[in-house]
Amino acid sequence: MRQLGLLFFSIFIVSMTNAQHTIPDSINNHVTTALSYYPELDSTNIEFKFKKNIKKSTMQARPTFGSFFRSRKHRRYVILISEKFKISNEEFRTRDIPKDIFIGWIGHELGHIMDYQDRDKLNLIWFGIKYVLSDNHIVEAERAADSYAVNHGMEDFILKTKDFILNHAEITQSYKDRIQKYYLSPEEIMHLVEQRETEEK
């Protein structure tokens, strides 16, 4: 009886700690691993959702529309995950990509959410406008998301994700160019890691 009570108590605790995150069962393990690198987001409301198709990207993090009328603490975020992605006209299921690469991808999206959480309402609106209008701003936003992930100790995952895209012969050159243009390079990532390590000493 006591064991049963303990079991219910632990289920209660587990559901309490995950109450802010809505995650589809099929990717629950991977997403939870990525989230464990971001304890600051434990009480942030985030919904992970599969979508048939996302323009130009595989995943996308954004605040919900209603969040613009709420205080920072009560904002809600959605991370959309495209059900499929294409490698030179062949379609793959996103949930089937290797574990570490999937985790790295989610880690990058969580980096965007950290970046959004740093901004007040007006700044967030301005950010959205600039993202649509300015290519330089996209570079800035994507590099910020990568930097958050690396500064949270996710460099191995982020490097694997990049390696997967850049060294996958079947991925189109235009997609690789996009990645090189908008994201941190492996050298820059290593530099951030060195910086973090000297700061920790």
Q: What is the DSSP string of 47-111?
A: EEEEES--TT-SEEEEE-GGGGGS-GGG-EEEEEEESEEEETTEEEEGGGS-HHHHHHHHHHHHH
Please report how close the Cβ of residue 74 comes to Zn ion at its closest, in angstroms. 24
Q: Which is nearer to Zn ion, 18 or 166 (CB)?
A: 166
For Zn ion, which stretch binds (CB under 5 A), given 90-98, 99-107, 119-127, 141-149?
141-149
Q: Which is nearer to Zn ion, 23 or 79 (CB)?
A: 79
Q: Which is nearer to Zn ion, 142 or 155 (CB)?
A: 142
Which residues does residue 46 pair with via DSSP β-bridges, in sequence order? 21, 77
Q: Which is nearer to Zn ion, 21 or 111 (CB)?
A: 111
Task: Tell me how far apart the alpha carbons of residues 133 and 190 are, in angstroms, rounded to a whole number.
Answer: 31
Residue keyed to tokens 């379609």: 91
For Zn ion, which stretch binds (CB under 5 A), given 21-29, 65-73, 138-146, 162-170?
138-146
Q: Which is nearer to Zn ion, 129 or 139 (CB)?
A: 139
Within 8 A by CB and 6+ apart from 186, the residues are 159, 162, 163
In eight-state DSSP terms, residue 185 is -
For Zn ion, which stretch binds (CB under 5 A), given 10-18, 37-45, 88-96, 136-144?
136-144
CA dihedral over 164, 167, 173, 174, signed as positive or negative: positive
Please report how close the Cβ of residue 186 comes to Zn ion at its closest, in angstroms. 17
Q: Which is nearer to Zn ion, 70 or 127 (CB)?
A: 127
For Zn ion, which stretch binds (CB under 5 A), given 36-44, 73-81, 134-142, 164-172?
134-142
Which burial class, exposed, middle or buried, applies to 104 when counting CB atoms under 10 A from its CB (0-12, 13-18, 19+)?
buried
Please report how close the Cβ of residue 105 comes to Zn ion at its closest, in angstroms. 9
Please report how close the Cβ of residue 167 comes to Zn ion at its closest, in angstroms. 20
3-class DSSP state of 12: helix
Pick the closest to residue 158 from 87, 88, 109, 85 (CA basis). Answer: 109
Please report how close the Cβ of residue 142 comes to Zn ion at its closest, in angstroms. 5
Interaction site with Zn ion (CB under 5 A): 142, 145
